[in-house]
Amino acid sequence: MPLLEPPLKAISKERYQGIPSAEIVFPQAGAYELKISGAPKAGANFKPFELSYEIIAAPGVAAPTPKTNFQAGSVPTTNTQTEPAENRWLIPLIAISSILSLGIVWMWQRLRVKSH
Protein backbone atom coordinates (compact mmCIF):
# COMPACT_ATOMS: atom_id res chain seq x y z
CA MET A 1 0.00 0.00 0.00
CA PRO A 2 1.40 3.41 -0.87
CA LEU A 3 2.05 5.81 1.98
CA LEU A 4 1.54 8.85 -0.25
CA GLU A 5 0.07 9.57 -3.64
CA PRO A 6 0.86 13.25 -4.06
CA PRO A 7 -1.05 15.24 -6.66
CA LEU A 8 0.88 16.35 -9.73
CA LYS A 9 1.15 19.98 -10.72
CA ALA A 10 2.62 21.41 -13.90
CA ILE A 11 5.79 23.50 -13.61
CA SER A 12 7.89 25.31 -16.22
CA LYS A 13 11.68 25.26 -16.13
CA GLU A 14 13.91 26.90 -18.70
CA ARG A 15 12.40 26.24 -22.11
CA TYR A 16 10.21 23.33 -20.98
CA GLN A 17 6.55 23.94 -20.20
CA GLY A 18 4.04 21.82 -18.27
CA ILE A 19 6.50 19.42 -16.61
CA PRO A 20 4.67 17.13 -14.14
CA SER A 21 5.91 17.75 -10.60
CA ALA A 22 5.07 16.66 -7.07
CA GLU A 23 6.38 17.66 -3.65
CA ILE A 24 6.99 14.81 -1.24
CA VAL A 25 7.59 15.14 2.49
CA PHE A 26 8.50 11.81 4.00
CA PRO A 27 6.81 11.04 7.35
CA GLN A 28 10.08 9.94 8.99
CA ALA A 29 13.70 9.16 8.21
CA GLY A 30 14.40 5.78 6.66
CA ALA A 31 14.44 3.74 3.47
CA TYR A 32 11.57 4.11 1.03
CA GLU A 33 10.69 2.63 -2.32
CA LEU A 34 9.67 5.35 -4.75
CA LYS A 35 7.40 4.26 -7.62
CA ILE A 36 6.51 6.52 -10.50
CA SER A 37 4.05 5.30 -13.10
CA GLY A 38 2.41 6.86 -16.11
CA ALA A 39 0.02 6.10 -18.90
CA PRO A 40 -0.89 8.09 -22.00
CA LYS A 41 -3.89 10.38 -22.01
CA ALA A 42 -6.31 10.16 -24.90
CA GLY A 43 -4.49 11.07 -28.10
CA ALA A 44 -0.99 10.62 -26.62
CA ASN A 45 1.30 8.00 -28.11
CA PHE A 46 3.56 6.22 -25.61
CA LYS A 47 3.53 2.97 -23.70
CA PRO A 48 2.53 2.92 -20.01
CA PHE A 49 5.59 2.84 -17.74
CA GLU A 50 6.61 2.29 -14.13
CA LEU A 51 9.88 3.35 -12.51
CA SER A 52 10.87 2.04 -9.10
CA TYR A 53 13.91 2.69 -6.93
CA GLU A 54 14.95 2.88 -3.29
CA ILE A 55 15.81 6.15 -1.61
CA ILE A 56 16.99 7.06 1.88
CA ALA A 57 15.16 9.96 3.51
CA ALA A 58 17.04 11.81 6.23
CA PRO A 59 16.09 14.83 8.30
CA GLY A 60 17.45 18.12 7.09
CA VAL A 61 16.78 21.77 6.57
CA ALA A 62 14.95 23.01 3.51
CA ALA A 63 17.13 24.88 1.03
CA PRO A 64 16.41 28.59 0.84
CA THR A 65 14.28 29.66 -2.09
CA PRO A 66 16.18 32.07 -4.36
CA LYS A 67 14.59 35.51 -4.56
CA THR A 68 13.92 36.77 -8.06
CA ASN A 69 14.10 40.50 -8.69
CA PHE A 70 11.89 41.41 -11.63
CA GLN A 71 10.85 44.72 -13.14
CA ALA A 72 8.78 45.18 -16.27
CA GLY A 73 10.97 45.32 -19.35
CA SER A 74 14.04 43.83 -17.65
CA VAL A 75 15.64 40.42 -17.46
CA PRO A 76 14.84 38.57 -14.21
CA THR A 77 17.83 38.11 -11.94
CA THR A 78 18.20 35.62 -9.14
CA ASN A 79 19.80 36.43 -5.80
CA THR A 80 22.33 33.60 -5.37
CA GLN A 81 24.08 34.97 -2.30
CA THR A 82 24.89 32.00 -0.13
CA GLU A 83 27.61 33.16 2.25
CA PRO A 84 26.60 34.82 5.51
CA ALA A 85 27.12 38.57 5.76
CA GLU A 86 29.62 38.22 8.60
CA ASN A 87 32.00 36.18 6.38
CA ARG A 88 32.12 38.60 3.42
CA TRP A 89 35.25 40.32 4.74
CA LEU A 90 37.20 37.05 4.89
CA ILE A 91 38.15 36.74 1.18
CA PRO A 92 39.41 40.35 0.81
CA LEU A 93 41.34 39.98 4.08
CA ILE A 94 43.05 36.81 2.84
CA ALA A 95 43.88 38.45 -0.51
CA ILE A 96 45.35 41.58 1.11
CA SER A 97 47.38 39.60 3.65
CA SER A 98 48.72 37.34 0.87
CA ILE A 99 49.80 40.34 -1.20
CA LEU A 100 51.45 41.98 1.82
CA SER A 101 53.23 38.75 2.74
CA LEU A 102 54.59 38.35 -0.78
CA GLY A 103 55.73 41.99 -0.76
CA ILE A 104 57.54 41.52 2.56
CA VAL A 105 59.27 38.34 1.35
CA TRP A 106 60.31 40.07 -1.90
CA MET A 107 61.71 43.08 -0.01
CA TRP A 108 63.55 40.83 2.45
CA GLN A 109 65.10 38.87 -0.45
CA ARG A 110 66.19 42.10 -2.18
CA LEU A 111 67.77 43.46 0.99
CA ARG A 112 69.49 40.15 1.64
CA VAL A 113 70.94 40.04 -1.91
CA LYS A 114 72.22 43.66 -1.60
CA SER A 115 73.94 43.00 1.72
CA HIS A 116 75.96 40.06 0.35
Global pTM value: 0.42
d(CA 6, CA 92): 47
- Cα distances from 46 to residues 25, 40, 42, 73, in angstroms, run 30, 6, 11, 40
Among the ranges given (2-6, 7-11, 12-16), the one the predictor scored with the smallest mean pLDDT: 2-6
Query: Mean pLDDT of all residues in the chain?
Result: 77
Tell me the pLDDT tens digit for each residue of 31-82. Answer: 988 888 888 888 888 899 898 888 888 887 777 776 665 555 555 555 555 5
Question: Quick check: 59 and 46 in contact, CB under 8 A?
Answer: no
Choice between 11 and 83, residue whose per-residue pLDDT is larger: 11
